[in-house]
């Protein structure tokens, strides 16, 4: 059976919109709500939320086969206000592991607890070249020396507090999305690209008048970057869980931006041999370009479910993402391969 066509224009449009919604872990609700609105147009799906705020979309079908699940996450790296400095600027506490040098001079939004947003940018505390020309180069890019300069009139802690900013407020780094020549360059393609893969796969099947062979739960996770997104929310009747998350591209890796990857092992352990075999044979059957790989510093939401006691066969697939947790990049070839792989799995 051949797979339905992918609406690539839709994929890019949905992904770019999702990338432009700030959603650091703990503050991901606007992104979850956006995906929820999008999926609400498919009356095949029954939508619900976990208490933690994750989105569950159930596509129920008449079948004696055991249900399956797929998960991908919309939460991203980010930061919160750690301290308001005496000069009115902000010290940050990072959410997840963004590397400081990659966000030096980046634009940010501060989302206050009262619902307002204030613009700013990330700088070292010795930023002016005309003052610190020598020492600025040497300044360590770390929690102590990086700060947010607000685009508001403040030179004191008190003035910053009067703007409505408090310790604990969310800080979101600009994603800087660009689409050029089949490449999508942006922060946080991990894992919004894979949420777009899932949503586009659902749309492609629905528009072709097709249904999954078994009942499927799509779990849109909101706490992955801190390690426990999918630890809850996968129903116990689910027999197989496919985590859809980025593949690691770079020196020593098999993965590339033009293929999807089946991860065999990461730092969280080894995936399920039986389900891996099934995913490989589906890729081969449908001519989907894929690699197998091992990721050096990586843990997945599927493993979070395993650790929490989840009893499922588990696999991890996803598109190759260059420079992950940095200024990331993907290509439509790898992205389409992932969407096709998801559809092949749902139809098998």
Please identify which residue in 75, 190, 256, 293 interacts with Zn ion, judged by CB under 5 A: 190
Evaluate whether 72 touches 54 at the Cβ level (below 8 Å): no
- Least distance (Å) between residue 298 CB and Zn ion: 8
- Least distance (Å) between residue 244 CB and Zn ion: 9
Query: Which of 190/328 has CB closer to Zn ion?
Result: 190
Give the single-character DSSP code of 106.
Answer: -
Query: Which of 245/303 has CB closer to Zn ion?
Result: 245
Which among 14-22, 243-251, 326-334, 335-343 is the span making contact with Zn ion, rule CB under 5 A?
A: 243-251
Query: Which of 245/328 has CB closer to Zn ion?
Result: 245
> Should residue 266 be labelled a site residue for Zn ion when binding is judged by CB under 5 A?
no
Q: Map residue 214 onto helix, strand or coil.
A: coil
Whole-angstrom Cα distance, residue 92 to residue 88?
Answer: 13
Catalytic one of 106, 147, 224, 303: 224
> Should residue 257 be labelled a site residue for Zn ion when binding is judged by CB under 5 A?
no
Q: 46: buried, middle or exposed (CB in 10 Å: 19+, 13-18, 0-12)?
A: exposed
Whole-angstrom Cα distance, residue 283 to residue 262?
Answer: 10
Query: Which of 215/261 has CB closer to Zn ion?
Result: 261
Query: Which of 59/341 has CB closer to Zn ion?
Result: 341
Q: 303: buried, middle or exposed (CB in 10 Å: 19+, 13-18, 0-12)?
A: buried
- Least distance (Å) between residue 304 CB and Zn ion: 11
> Should residue 191 be labelled a site residue for Zn ion when binding is judged by CB under 5 A?
yes
Which among 62-70, 168-176, 242-250, 318-326 is the span making contact with Zn ion, rule CB under 5 A?
A: 242-250
In our burial notation (b when 16+ CB lie closer than 10 A, e otherwise), range 108-118 reads: bebbbeeeeeb
Name 89's Cβ contacts closer than 8 Å, sequence gap at least 6.
Answer: 125, 147, 148, 149, 150, 160
Which among 31-39, 168-176, 238-246, 307-315 is the span making contact with Zn ion, rule CB under 5 A?
A: 238-246
Query: Which of 59/295 has CB closer to Zn ion?
Result: 295
- Least distance (Å) between residue 53 CB and Zn ion: 17
| Start-to-end Cα distance in the chain | 10
- Least distance (Å) between residue 125 CB and Zn ion: 31
Closest CA to 21 of 179, 147, 196, 230: 196
Question: Known catalytic residue: 9?
Answer: no
Give the single-character DSSP code of 224.
Answer: G
Whole-angstrom Cα distance, residue 300 to residue 229?
Answer: 9
Query: Structure tokens of 329?
Result: 């990049």
The count of chain residues that interact with Zn ion, using the rule CB under 5 A, is 3
Whole-angstrom Cα distance, residue 192 to residue 200?
Answer: 12
> Should residue 245 be labelled a site residue for Zn ion when binding is judged by CB under 5 A?
yes
Q: Which residue is nearest to Zn ion (CB)?
A: 191
- Least distance (Å) between residue 27 CB and Zn ion: 17
Name the residues annotated as catalytic: 224
Positions touching Zn ion (CB under 5 A) are 190-191, 245
């Amino acid at each position: 059976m051949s797979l339905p066509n992918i609406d690539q224009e839709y994929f890019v449009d949905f992904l770019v919109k999702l990338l432009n919604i700030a959603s650091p872990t703990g503050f991901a609700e606007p992104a979850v709500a956006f995906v929820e609105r999008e999926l609400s147009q498919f009356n095949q799906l029954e939508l619900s939320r976990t208490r933690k705020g994750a989105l569950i979309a159930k596509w129920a079908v008449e079948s004696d086969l055991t249900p399956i699940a797929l998960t991908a996450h919309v939460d991203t790296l980010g930061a919160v206000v750690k301290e308001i400095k005496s000069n009115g600027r902000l010290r940050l506490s990072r959410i997840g592991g963004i590397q400081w040098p990659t966000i030096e001079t980046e634009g940010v939004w501060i989302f206050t607890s009262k619902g307002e947003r204030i613009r700013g940018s990330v700088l070292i505390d010795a930023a002016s070249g005309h003052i610190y020309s020598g020492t600025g180069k040497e300044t360590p890019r770390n929690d102590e020396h990086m700060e947010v300069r607000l685009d508001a009139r403040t030179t004191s802690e008190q003035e910053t507090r009067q703007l409505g900013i408090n310790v604990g407020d969310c800080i979101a780094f600009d994603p800087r999305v660009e689409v050029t020549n089949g490449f999508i360059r942006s922060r946080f393609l991990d894992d919004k690209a894979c949420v777009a893969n899932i949503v586009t796969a659902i749309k492609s099947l629905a528009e072709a008048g097709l249904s999954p062979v078994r009942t499927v739960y799509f779990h849109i996770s909101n706490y992955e970057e801190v390690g426990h997104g999918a630890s809850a929310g996968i129903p116990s009747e689910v027999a197989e869980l496919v985590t859809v998350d980025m593949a690691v591209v770079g020196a020593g890796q098999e993965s590339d931006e033009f293929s999807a990857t089946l991860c065999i092992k990461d730092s969280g352990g080894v995936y399920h041999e039986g389900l891996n075999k099934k995913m490989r044979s589906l890729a081969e059957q449908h001519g989907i370009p894929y690699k197998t790989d091992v990721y050096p510093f990586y843990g997945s939401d599927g493993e979070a479910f395993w650790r929490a006691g989840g009893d499922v066969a588990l696999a991890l697939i996803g598109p190759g993402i260059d420079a992950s947790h940095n200024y990331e990049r993907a290509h439509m070839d790898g992205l389409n391969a992932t969407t096709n792989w998801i559809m092949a799995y749902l139809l098998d």
